[in-house]
Amino acid sequence: MRFDVISLFPEMVTKAASYGVTGKAIENKLVALSVWNPRDYTHDKHRSVDDRSYGGGPGMVMKYQPLADAVDDVKNNLKIKNCKVICLSPQGKPINQSLLSATITEVDQLILVAGRYEGIDERFIETVCDDEWSLGDYIISGGELGVLVIIDAITRLIPGVLGDENSAKQDSYSDGILDCPHYTRPEQLVQAGSVPKVLLSGNHAEIARWRMKQALGRTWHRRADLLKYKKLTAMQDALLEEFKFEVK
């Protein structure tokens, strides 16, 4: 997977992505990341990437031409067939685990466009972008943080990136439910209690059963909406009923 980011703040993206899981994945060439600055595609002496909004009102709007030329340059340089241009926007499709994991199977390159100011000239979004993706129903000052969220969430799904392949499979949302609670040493904390006994039993079947029950239970408790779309097995149904009975 290749990520090409169009951003007025290239270092904000490259620096943040150089840490942790994404940093290792880039170092090990499991993913590639380049950032392209629209300011490098301007032709006036002020290198302007924005202008006033037609119709008046506060705030500046990012111009079509520097963004379109940057995207063209990425495409012409790399000529990757399975490519999608995604614009970060609060008006876009809300990103979730299934959208991101489907993307890995559908494309080899994502061109991610980070907006700033009041946003981007609508004609760029309509004619150059394949889709608009949103972080959620709130406004942040620029698309870079959204770009980083997408890069991180996709990178950790790529085979070989995480030390243990199963770790992403157990994460919340990967199978439509939340993850179970986790504990580590010490076994007892005076101020916060002890670790559930079953986790110390060494009985792998019992541990798996307990974890599934907790995962289903907390999904029901915290995110009942997710269970509307999840087809539970007979065993999972029984575990959830057991959980509900126990919390009564």
Q: Which residues in the 62-91 window bind ligand SAM by CB under 6 A?
A: 88-91
Q: Which of 39, 73, 90, 152 is catalytic?
A: 90
Nearest approach, Cβ of residue 168 and ligand SAM (Å): 23
Q: Which is nearer to ligand SAM, 118 or 179 (CB)?
A: 118
Q: Which of 118, 132, 152, 179 is catalytic?
A: 118
- Residue 178 token pair: 């939340």
By three-state DSSP, how is residue 36 classified? strand
Active site residue 171: yes
CB 165 within 8 A of CB 121: no
By three-state DSSP, how is residue 85 classified? strand
Nearest approach, Cβ of residue 111 and ligand SAM (Å): 14
Active site residue 175: no
The residue type at 49? V
Q: What share of the chain is helix, strand, coil (3-state, %, to 5)?
A: 45, 15, 40
Nearest approach, Cβ of residue 138 and ligand SAM (Å): 6
Q: Which is nearer to ligand SAM, 89 or 219 (CB)?
A: 89
Nearest approach, Cβ of residue 94 and ligand SAM (Å): 9
**Contacts of residue 112, Cβ cutoff 8 Å, sequence gap at least 6:** 3, 4, 5, 6, 86, 88, 143, 147, 150, 151
Cα gap 243→127, rounded to integer Å: 51
By three-state DSSP, how is residue 119 classified? coil
Give the distance, in angstroms, between the CA of residue 58 and the centroid of all CA atoms in the same chain: 31
Per rule CB under 6 A, is residue 23 in the interface with ligand SAM?
no
DSSP annotation of 53 reads P
Binding flags for ligand SAM, 142-181, as an x/- string (CB under 6 A): xx--x-----------------------------------
Cα gap 37→67, rounded to integer Å: 9
Q: Which residues in the 111-140 window bind ligand SAM by CB under 6 A?
A: 114-116, 118-120, 134-136, 138-140
Active site residue 211: no
Nearest approach, Cβ of residue 142 and ligand SAM (Å): 5
Least Cα distance to 66 among 31, 37, 41, 100 occurs for 41
Q: Which of 73, 171, 179, 218 is catalytic?
A: 171
Just list the catalytic residues. Answer: 90, 118, 156, 171
Point out which residues bind ligand SAM (CB under 6 A). 88-91, 114-116, 118-120, 134-136, 138-143, 146
